[in-house]
Structures are given as C-alpha cells and as structure tokens.
C-alpha cells in the first residue's frame, strides 16, 4: 500500500525519471508510433506537442498499458516497466489526468480517492473509515489549494472540479510522473490557475510532468522542455528558453507557417440575423442585442461564465426564452427547440463536442452526414456513394487524418474527431452558424484550415458567430468582436481596431 501524501521520487532534481526508447505502435493502416524516444527528468514540465494525429496520446497510452506497444523499452527510475493497465501504472507511480474522466458518480469525493486503500476497517473488506478518509482528503486538498468538500458526491462536481480531484488522487498515490493530456480544455480560467499552481508544487517536489496541449501560450508559460512529434516520429526535444512560437510551429508543421489567419473580405450583404433583447430563463443571459450581416463573422468574447454559451443555446432553442426576438432576414424565428432551429437554417457546434457530438461506433461517413441525410436521398433511398464522396471532400479540406472514410470515428485522434463534427454542421448548409470554441483541441496548422472554411462559408452568404477564449483568434478570425460581461453585451469593436486590452476592459464592464 502506498503511504498517502508522501511524495519522494527517488531521483534527484534533474535526474532522469522516465526513459522511453524505440517506442513503436501500429494500427490497421496507421503507423501511430515509429521509433519514438522520450526522456523525462525529475522536477521538469515536459511539453509534448504535435499536430492532431501525431501520436502524442498513443505514446502515453503505451506508457499506461492501455495499448501494448509493438516495440520499445520503458525505464522508470532505471528499472524496466511494462504496465498492463492504468491502475497498475498508478500503483507504480505513473498517473494520468485526462479529459474523459471515468469516476464513479454516486461515490463521495473521499471514497473516490481512498477506496480500496487506506484505511481499511472491516477485516478484509475494502471499506473506508469515513471520518479518517474525510480527514485525509481535507488535508490533501488543503495542501494543494483545492476547495472541494470531501463529502460531496462526485456527480455533483463540475468537469473542472473532477479534474482537480483526479490530480489530488494522483498526488495521494505518490505519483512520480503525472501526465496531463489537454487538461485545460474544459477548465475555467480560475481552475486553470489552480492547476498551474499545483503543477509548480509538484515540480518543486521533484515530480516529472508530461503536458500535452495545443495552447501555445500555456506551453510557453509552464514548460521547461518541449518535445515535438510529427507523423508518429520524434522530431526534436529542446529547452523552452531556446524556443519561440514560430519555432515550435515550424517543428510541428514541418514548414514555415507565414500566416495564422486568412485575410477576410469586407462583408457586403444585408443584416441577416438580428437578436433583440434576448434573455433566457434560468441563465444569466440578459437583454442581448446584436446583428450579423450575411458574409460576416462576428467574434464573441468574454470571460468564462459571461453568458456566451447561454446566448448560443438560447438562439438555438436549447434554453427557454424569457424575452426578446430572433429575426432572420427580418422574419421572426421562434426556435423553440433545436429541431426547429435547424429547420430555420441554424447550426450549433457545441463546446462539449467530445461528450455530445460523437457516435463512437459509427464510421466517419455516418458521423459526417447524420445531420444532412436528406441531401443524399435518391428516391426513397440514401446514396451511400454520395455520402462517402461528400465525406471524402471534407477529409481533404480539413486534412482529417484517417485511413479512410469508412474508419470508425473513435479510432481517430481527439482533434481529428472534432474536425469530423465540424464538417457535419457545415454540411447542413446553415444560414446562421454558431461556433462555440471551434478550434479548441485543434493544432495550429489545422486551425488555419478551419478559418479558411469559415471564410468560404461567409463568402457564400452565411452569418457566422464564433465564441473564442483565445484573444488572437477573436481578433484575427472575425470581422467584428462583441464582448459579453455578466450576461450582457458590453460592447462591440471592429477587429481591425481591436486590442486585447480593449476586449478585456469590456469583459470586465459589469463585474
Ligand atoms: N485505437 C486506435 N485504432 C486505430 N487507430 C488509432 C487508434 N488510436 C490512435 N489511432 C491512430 O493513431 C494516430 C495517432 O493518434 P493519437 O491519438 O496518438 O494522436 P494525438 O497526437 O494525440 O492527436 P490529437 O492532438 O488530435 O489528440 C492517428 O492517426 C489515430 O487515428
Ligand atoms: Mg490526443
């Protein structure tokens, strides 16, 4: 049994904790890892970067025994290991914090951490003494600066809190290596700040941190070294101090990326969508008024919780409208539910795509065409040839990395799954396209492809609204930015005149 709260990795600061060499793994039609090596030192944050499908998650899954590598060697603290499951890895001191959390919902927070371990009270039964577990949890949380009640049910926690819980659990096992696979994509800014301070503490204790993310600013802020992978191969490992955003991008993409955003043409169309005094029942959304012209891309900025997602949900009929009007081309739209909204020409790409957008056991073609099936009718039958052809055209346009359009979506990398869901909504030929964080989890090169597609859709007369938490994206990929604050629209700025400070000032207006 691991003694809780004692974290004393045997290696000294700077010494090698983990060494993976010659890691190789193939799936049908894909060489996911080709002779990859990675070395992690005690007390470092090591960023693992690469385009969608480069092999980052696969490398980690080989470490955790989720996949059995075809070849390669893993040394932990100088000893060869080959874990057969994440549970075994955790007991061996290697923990993973990832997005798809599988925590038992009905359990309390304290049980979730200690179940099956200290302190057992009833003979051989793995029962946790409530008082003791609670006390230990409280101690653990206090040491990490986490504010969660040990008696709360896991199901009552938000995604961010669950993730912090997962980290606390890793710490309680005395993990020496902690892997974070895109940890902040569902965290609020506040939670992300807590995460970063915990990472600092773990570093000071001599843990080795592997950090996977597509957010360049995070990588530059917290990492000590960066390893870049491309097409299943190791490309480079560099000290952070010797890297810049441009250098990292070049290593990832394999060429210079001269432009991050396509040049947008000025919209010439009339106002297509007007939203007037929109408020939603049970949300903070209050009297939102805005208009978007055909051919225009409107960025929606604001802090987490400022009501941006609620605005989209209300427009799309996912929440009940308390007041206000939605006009399309001057005609009143009820949009009482999503079905009605889709019929009226609205499409919504949600923020939690991994949760509510993917039909895992179906292939790419079905996942892509499911919302636009009537376009493939030939008489009463669906033309699967047409469906496949359409899917292939989006695989090309968005550079989706897949063996074919008949591949099951769940075998795609996280970012590539997202591109498939985006194609699905683009195929509904919407007149109003609502995009909630469309490039989250998408690599830099592919982001450009998505902006380009947005530009084309706008040019074809679509009105696009895009929520983004990335300032440069808000300014670079839209014509105009509307900023929300405490449920209201705080103001609008033309992108050509927008600055980060200007947006932040508006975001704080009603706080
Ligand atoms: N279970 C699987 N079956 C088949 N192919 C797989 C499986 N898991 C991964 N792959 C393939 O291996 C390659 C690497 O995928 P991986 O998930 O490691 O990428 P990644 O670098 O984590 O990308 P992302 O940034 O999008 O998360 C991809 O081409 C993917 O389709
Ligand atoms: Mg991944």
Whether residues 231 and 268 share a domain: the answer is no
Count of domains for the chain: 4
Please give the helix or strand (H or E) that residue 41 lies within, else none. strand 30-41
Distance 58 CA to ligand 1 centre (A): 6
Ranges 104-113, 136-145, 303-312, 401-410: which has the least confidence: 104-113
Residue 191: pLDDT band with limits 50, 70, 90: confident
Q: Is 57 in the pocket of ligand 1 (CB under 6 A)?
A: yes
- Give 443-500 pLDDT, tens digit per residue: 888 888 889 989 989 999 999 999 998 899 999 999 999 999 999 999 999 999 999 9
- The CA distance from 359 to 408, in Å, is 9
- Give 277-319 pLDDT, tens digit per residue: 999 999 999 999 999 999 999 999 998 889 999 999 999 999 9
pLDDT over 50 at 6, yes or no: no
The confidence score (pLDDT) of residue 1 equals 39
Closest-CA residue, ligand 1 atom 25, reads 52
User: Closest-lying ligand to the alpha carbon of 27?
Assistant: 1
Whether residues 43 and 140 share a domain: the answer is no
CB proximity list for 195: less than 8 A, separation 6 or greater: 163, 164, 167, 183, 184, 187
* Sign of the torsion formed by the C-alpha atoms of 345, 351, 353 and 356: negative
End of a domain among 232, 258, 284?
258
What is the largest distance, in Å, between two alpha-carbon atoms of the chain?
Answer: 77
Residue 100: pLDDT band with limits 50, 70, 90: low
For range 59-68, the mean pLDDT: 95
Residues 222 and 196: beta-carbon distance below 8 Å: yes
Which pair of structure tokens corresponds to residue 281?
A: 């029942």
For range 147-159, the mean pLDDT: 86
Residues in the chain: 511
- Coil, helix or strand at residue 263: coil
The residue among 164 and 3 whose pLDDT is bigger is: 164
The confidence score (pLDDT) of residue 320 equals 93
Whether residues 39 and 71 share a domain: the answer is yes
Whether residues 166 and 303 share a domain: the answer is no
The residue among 8 and 39 whose pLDDT is bigger is: 39
End of a domain among 238, 258, 278?
258
Residues 251 and 228: beta-carbon distance below 8 Å: yes
Give the position, in ligand 1's atom list, of the atom nearest the Cα of 407: 4
Whether residues 247 and 369 share a domain: the answer is no
Which residues, by Cβ under 5 Å, contact ligand 2, an ion? Answer: 57, 413-414
Whether residues 62 and 209 share a domain: the answer is yes
DSSP state letter for 73: E
Q: Is residue 10 in some structural domain?
A: no
Closest-CA residue, ligand 1 atom 19, reads 53
Q: Is residue 105 in some structural domain?
A: yes
Whether residues 152 and 274 share a domain: the answer is no
Whether residues 135 and 238 share a domain: the answer is no
pLDDT over 90 at 254, yes or no: no
- Give 341-360 pLDDT, tens digit per residue: 989 999 998 876 555 567 87
% of the chain residues with pLDDT over 70: 92
User: Would you give the distance in Å from CA 209 to the centre of its chain?
Assistant: 19
For range 235-244, the mean pLDDT: 96
The confidence score (pLDDT) of residue 75 equals 97
Q: Is 160 in the pocket of ligand 1 (CB under 6 A)?
A: no
Q: Is residue 1 in some structural domain?
A: no
Q: Which of 186-190, 205-209, 296-300, 384-388 has the highest mean pLDDT?
A: 296-300
Candidate of 407, 412, 443, 447 to mutate for ligand 1, largest count of ligand atoms within 8 Å of Cβ: 412
The confidence score (pLDDT) of residue 7 equals 45
Q: Is residue 311 in some structural domain?
A: yes
- Coil, helix or strand at residue 20: strand
Distance 368 CA to ligand 2 centre (A): 20
Q: Is 52 in the pocket of ligand 1 (CB under 6 A)?
A: yes
Q: Is residue 68 in some structural domain?
A: yes
Residue 5: pLDDT band with limits 50, 70, 90: very low
Distance 215 CA to ligand 1 centre (A): 19
pLDDT over 80 at 205, yes or no: yes
Q: Is 414 in the pocket of ligand 1 (CB under 6 A)?
A: yes
Closest-CA residue, ligand 1 atom 6, reads 411
Ranges 114-128, 359-373, 484-498: which has the least confidence: 114-128
Give the position, in ligand 1's atom list, of the atom nearest the Cα of 214: 25
Q: Is 93 in the pocket of ligand 1 (CB under 6 A)?
A: no
The confidence score (pLDDT) of residue 9 equals 46
Q: Is 58 in the pocket of ligand 1 (CB under 6 A)?
A: yes
Give the count of beta carbons closer than 10 Å to the beta carbon of residue 502: 16
End of a domain among 236, 258, 280?
258
User: Closest-lying ligand to the alpha carbon of 53?
Assistant: 1
The confidence score (pLDDT) of residue 381 equals 85
For range 136-142, the mean pLDDT: 90
Ranges 76-85, 357-366, 382-391: which has the least confidence: 357-366
User: Closest-lying ligand to the alpha carbon of 98?
Assistant: 2
- Give 82-92 pLDDT, tens digit per residue: 999 998 999 99
Q: What is the DSSP string of 296-340?
A: -EEEEEE-TTSSHHHHHHHHTTSS-EEEEEEEETTEE----SHHH
Closest-CA residue, ligand 1 atom 2, reads 411
CATH number at residue 250: 3.40.50.300
- The CA distance from 44 to 213, in Å, is 16
Distance 411 CA to ligand 2 centre (A): 11
Give the position, in ligand 1's atom list, of the atom nearest the Cα of 182: 27
Instruction: Tell me the pTM.
Output: 0.83
Whether residues 509 and 439 share a domain: the answer is yes
Distance 243 CA to ligand 1 centre (A): 26
Whether residues 68 and 139 share a domain: the answer is no
Whether residues 164 and 300 share a domain: the answer is no
The confidence score (pLDDT) of residue 11 equals 54
Q: Is 495 in the pocket of ligand 1 (CB under 6 A)?
A: no
Tell me which residue range forms the domain holding 397: 353-429
Q: Is residue 46 in some structural domain?
A: yes
Mean of pLDDT over the chain = 88
Whether residues 89 and 211 share a domain: the answer is yes
Closest-CA residue, ligand 1 atom 4, reads 411
Residue 2: pLDDT band with limits 50, 70, 90: very low
Q: Is residue 374 in some structural domain?
A: yes
Closest-CA residue, ligand 1 atom 5, reads 411
Distance 457 CA to ligand 2 centre (A): 28
% of the chain residues with pLDDT over 90: 57
Q: Is residue 200 in some structural domain?
A: no
């Amino acid at each position: 049994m691991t003694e809780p709260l004692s974290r004393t990795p045997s290696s000294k600061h700077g010494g090698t904790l983990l060494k993976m060499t010659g890691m190789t793994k193939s799936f049908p039609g894909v060489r996911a890892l080709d002779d990859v090596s990675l070395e992690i030192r005690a007390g470092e944050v090591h960023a693992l970067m690469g385009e969608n499908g480069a092999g980052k998650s696969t490398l980690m899954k080989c470490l955790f025994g989720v996949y059995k590598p075809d070849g390669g060697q893993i040394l932990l603290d100088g000893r060869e290991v080959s874990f057969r499951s994440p549970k075994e890895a955790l007991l061996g001191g290697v923990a993973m914090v990832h997005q798809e959390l599988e925590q038992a919902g009905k359990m309390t927070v304290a049980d979730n951490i200690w179940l099956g371990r200290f302190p057992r009270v009833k003979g051989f039964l793995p029962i946790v003494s409530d008082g003791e577990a609670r006390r230990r949890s409280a101690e653990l949380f206090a040491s990490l600066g986490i504010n969660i009640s040990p008696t709360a049910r896991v199901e009552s926690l938000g995604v961010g809190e669950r993730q912090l819980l997962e980290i606390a659990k890793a710490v309680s096992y005395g993990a020496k290596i902690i892997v974070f696979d895109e940890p902040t994509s569902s965290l609020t800014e506040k939670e992300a700040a807590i995460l970063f301070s915990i990472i600092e503490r773990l570093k000071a204790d001599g843990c080795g941190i592997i950090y996977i993310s597509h957010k360049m600013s995070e990588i530059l802020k917290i990492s000590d070294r960066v390893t870049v992978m491309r097409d299943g191969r190791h490309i480079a490992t560099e000290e952070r101090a010797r890297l810049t955003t441009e250098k990292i991008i070049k290593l990832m993409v394999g060429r210079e990326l001269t432009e991050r955003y396509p040049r947008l043409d000025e919209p010439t169309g009339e106002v297509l969508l007007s939203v007037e005094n929109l408020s939603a029942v049970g949300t903070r959304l209050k009297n939102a008024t805005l208009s978007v012209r055909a051919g225009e891309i409107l960025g929606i900025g604001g802090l987490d919780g400022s009501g941006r997602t609620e605005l989209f949900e209300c427009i799309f009929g996912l929440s009940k409208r308390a007041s206000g009007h939605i006009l399309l081309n001057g005609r009143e739209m009820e949009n009482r539910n999503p079905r009605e909204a889709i019929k009226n020409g609205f499409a919504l790409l949600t923020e939690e795509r991994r949760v509510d957008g993917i039909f895992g056991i179906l292939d790419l073609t079905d996942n892509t065409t499911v919302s636009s099936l009537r376009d493939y009718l030939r008489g009463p039958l669906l033309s699967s040839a047409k469906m496949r052809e359409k899917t292939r055209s989006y695989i090309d346009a968005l550079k989706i990395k897949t063996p074919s359009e008949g591949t099951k979506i769940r075998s795609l990398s996280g970012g590539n799954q997202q591109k498939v869901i985006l194609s699905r909504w683009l195929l509904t030929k919407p007149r109003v396209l609502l995009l909630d964080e469309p490039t989250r989890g998408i690599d830099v090169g592919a982001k450009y492809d998505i902006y380009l597609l947005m530009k084309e859709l706008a040019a074809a007369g679509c009105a696009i609204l895009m929520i983004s938490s990335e300032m440069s994206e808000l300014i670079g990929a839209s014509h105009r930015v509307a900023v929300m604050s405490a449920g209201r629209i705080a103001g609008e700025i033309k992108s050509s005149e927008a600055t980060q400070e200007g947006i932040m000032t508006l975001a704080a207006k009603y706080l």
